[in-house]
Amino acid sequence: MPNANKKKFVIIDAMALAYKGYYAFISRPLSTSKGEPTSAVYGFISQLLKIIEDTKPDYIAVAFDSKEKTFRHDRYENYKSSREEMPEDMVPQLQRIKEVIEAFKIPIYILPGYEADDLIGTAVKIAEKNGLLSYAITPDKDYIQLISPNIKIIKPGKSTDEIVMIDENKVREEFGFEPKQMIDYLALVGDSSDDIPGVAGIGPKTAIPLIQRFKTLENIYKNIDEIEKQGIVNKLKENKENAFLSKELATIHTEVPFEFKLDEAIYEKPDLNKLTQLLAELEFRSFINKIKKLYLEEETEEKQSDDKIEPVEETFKDESLKVFDKSKVKYHLINNIKEAEELALKLKAADKFVFDTETDSLDIFNVNLAGCSFCIKPKEAYFVAVNPHRESAGLFTTDLSGRIPVNEFIRIFKPVFESNKQKKICQNAKYDIAILKTYGMEVENFYFDTMLASYVIDPDQKHGMDDLSEKYLNYKPIPLLDLIGSKKSPEKIFEVEQERLSDYSCEDSDITYRLYELLKGILKKDGLEKVAYEIEFPLVPVLEDMERTGVKIDINSLNAFSKDLQILLDNYSQEIFKQAGDTFNINSTQQLQKILFDKLKLPPTTKTKTGFSTDVRAL
């Protein structure tokens, strides 16, 4: 067991994190108002801050791949040959990432002829010899070979602010062998991301038992006659040269001749002036708050005591209200027409209010309204229980007496929703607006969506109400599953006691109001009001209308086009058969492999679990 008191050394595979950040936003790329692309930079910074916050390093460094070909390219011409060129809009972002790293005062290491893997491998071994606990930050599985009691891997998770730690036990659980045997494993299965060939036809299911039994690649070949399955023996013999070449390519060098000195990697506070100026240029205003939290905590705490964004930010925290406590709020259940009409008057007198619908389905076209909550000020909310049918019971077996018939709900609250005088606030407004529209009610003067505000402030964070409540209010809301038992059974909402459903829905509106007062201040402070109020929020009703209206499709034209495409496809297939000199199933990768590599003798490129690749890049 490594000593928990050991000093920690963190070294980052920069290109891996940059690509991770770039592709995290591939469907909605980030850029500044001037058009400068920033997805990779944003993702890199997000991951870097998460790593620093979680590991609290004593030493930190960053390694980049060099532009020059490496000794691996000299050894194997096809090494990384199928990798696509770096996306054009990512190239300028690498320089920005280096500027960020320099502002953090983190040393950068690049060595011509070597990859970041080798620099990192050498650095962590040096750190280990100096008694440090090392963390290599990378998503690449070949780094697993470096893991030891004092060397661990931190792998970026699915989102750019998520990380996963991999140690010896994790490797044993997942692969069933020791970390150092990862080299032998890759020698057999290859690595398609680096075009390491491995042994054609051998995948993880075959490789792992071989590694567990014989320990090393050398020992597998030394005892090849002991392997019972002749098919495996044949594959090993036919691909022996590739197997040992693959092991050589997959081995990370840990004695690279570069000047790495630990005292140069001592972790220190960044150049805050330079960093905040850079973040401002990149329009990453949300990161400035994170930087302050990490490096100026004491100063910001003093400042916040005199200059709070909004008093409501501390509403829950001051009271230490971690979970629902009915004694500290005023939540009202309304299930008669008189009280509903009185509430409508209060809403008409307000300048703004939050509303939140409760339903038995997410399908806006086939949904029953169970109720709607409203909030005019923090700590107080109202829930109107609704019978979705005009009759007292309708088609429901559950007793719905004691609820306001939906036609009465519409009569009372339609004028409120359709009034331009009150600003309407929601969490995930598009859904609530759609529900009301299904019941013939429009929402006029929609003003603010806390979910979208969260996205504008920090696109990479989670935007659900529960997540936002825990992050900003230090409060855990009542879980929906406590009411209905399973997300797959939303119809059970009508079986929930009115009092419990009222508390749940009122809490949603109350929390949304509190989040609104907090997030509007952050939008203003970070200079993001224009994005929110002029772009994101106004688009909500437009998108809802588009989704509801849909697109009319000309079925006859599509069918005719489909027939034309089939004729074209048949012609291409016949041409392929003519060129191949044989007929075969083009969609079968196994048959295609035999035609391309056995019959036509074309040179293979990338190896997969079932042989050589026949994907678009390989073809």
Using DSSP, state whether 529 is helix, strand or coil: helix
**CA–CA dist 479, 483 (Å, integer):** 7
**Per-residue confidence (pLDDT) for residue 317, from 0 to 100:** 37
**Per-residue confidence (pLDDT) for residue 298, from 0 to 100:** 39
Q: Looking at the predicted structure, is the pLDDT value of residue 50 above 50? A: yes
Which uninterrupted H or E stretch holds 372? strand 369-377
Q: Looking at the predicted structure, is the pLDDT value of residue 592 above 90? A: no
**Per-residue confidence (pLDDT) for residue 6, from 0 to 100:** 85
The pLDDT confidence band at residue 241, using thresholds 50, 70 and 90, is very high
- Amino acid 210 reads L
The pLDDT confidence band at residue 478, using thresholds 50, 70 and 90, is confident
The first and second tokens of residue 381, run together, are 């909310």
What CATH homologous superfamily does 313-549 map to?
Answer: Ribonuclease H-like superfamily/Ribonuclease H (3.30.420.10)
For 129-160, what is each residue's pLDDT tens digit?
999 999 999 988 899 999 999 999 998 876 65
For 181-210, what is each residue's pLDDT tens digit?
999 999 999 988 888 999 999 999 999 999
Question: Could you give the angle at the alpha carbon of 429 between the alpha carbons of 393 and 459, nearest 5°?
Answer: 140
DSSP 518: H
The pLDDT confidence band at residue 315, using thresholds 50, 70 and 90, is very low
Asked if 609 contacts 189 with a C-beta cutoff of 8 angstroms, the reply is yes
**Residue ranges with strand state E in 262-351:** 330-334
Q: Which residues pair with 448 in a beta bridge?
A: 425
The first and second tokens of residue 128, run together, are 């280990």
Q: Which residues pair with 196 in a beta bridge?
A: 191
The first and second tokens of residue 119, run together, are 């620099």
Asked if 182 contacts 166 with a C-beta cutoff of 8 angstroms, the reply is no
Kindly report the CATH class assigned to 8-175+253-265: alpha beta
* Nearest residue to 469 via CA among 431, 505, 508: 508
The pLDDT confidence band at residue 591, using thresholds 50, 70 and 90, is confident
For 564-577, what is each residue's pLDDT tens digit?
999 999 899 899 88
**Residue ranges with strand state E in 116-236:** 133-137, 151-156, 163-166
CA distances from 133 to 154, 173, 251, 347 (A): 13, 22, 22, 60
Torsion of CA 109, 110, 111, 117, to 10 degrees: 80
For 351-389, what is each residue's pLDDT tens digit?
999 999 999 888 888 889 999 999 999 999 999 999 987
The pLDDT confidence band at residue 400, using thresholds 50, 70 and 90, is low
**CA–CA dist 443, 99 (Å, integer):** 47
For 17-26, what is each residue's pLDDT tens digit?
999 889 888 8
The first and second tokens of residue 385, run together, are 């229980």
Residues of the chain with CATH 3.40.50.1010: 8-175+253-265
Which residue has 């150049």 as its token pair?
271
Which residues, 6 or more positions from 245, have their beta carbon under 8 angstroms from its beta carbon?
Answer: 75, 76, 197
Using DSSP, state whether 334 is helix, strand or coil: strand
DSSP-derived pairing of the beta strands 352-359 and 369-377: antiparallel
Count of alpha carbons within 13 Å of 583, Cβ hemisphere only?
2
**CA–CA dist 81, 51 (Å, integer):** 32
**CA–CA dist 371, 330 (Å, integer):** 18
**CA–CA dist 12, 44 (Å, integer):** 10
The predicted model scores a pTM of 0.56
Residues of the chain with CATH 1.20.1060.10: 555-612
Q: What is the CATH number that goes with domain 555-612? A: 1.20.1060.10
**CA–CA dist 329, 379 (Å, integer):** 5
Which residues, 6 or more positions from 51, have their beta carbon under 8 angstroms from its beta carbon?
Answer: 10, 12, 135, 137, 154, 163
The pLDDT confidence band at residue 605, using thresholds 50, 70 and 90, is low
For 444-471, what is each residue's pLDDT tens digit?
999 999 999 999 988 877 899 988 998 8
Q: Looking at the predicted structure, is the pLDDT value of residue 289 above 80? A: no
Q: Looking at the predicted structure, is the pLDDT value of residue 73 above 50? A: yes
**Per-residue confidence (pLDDT) for residue 392, from 0 to 100:** 44
Residues of the chain with CATH 3.30.420.10: 313-549
| Stretch 204-233: mean pLDDT | 94
Question: Any idea which of 108-117, 295-304, 521-530 has the lowest mean pLDDT?
Answer: 295-304
Using DSSP, state whether 236 is helix, strand or coil: helix
Q: Looking at the predicted structure, is the pLDDT value of residue 485 above 70? A: no
**CA–CA dist 164, 154 (Å, integer):** 6
**Per-residue confidence (pLDDT) for residue 202, from 0 to 100:** 92
Return phi, psi of residue 165, to 5°: -95, 130
Which residues, 6 or more positions from 577, have their beta carbon under 8 angstroms from its beta carbon?
Answer: 583, 584
Please write down the HEC assignment for all residues of 355-369: EEEEECCCCCCCCCE
Which uninterrupted H or E stretch holds 382? strand 380-387
What integer best gives the mean pLDDT of the chain?
Answer: 87
Orientation angle between helical segments 406-417 and 337-349, nearest 10 degrees:
10
Q: Looking at the predicted structure, is the pLDDT value of residue 324 above 50? A: yes
**Per-residue confidence (pLDDT) for residue 326, from 0 to 100:** 79
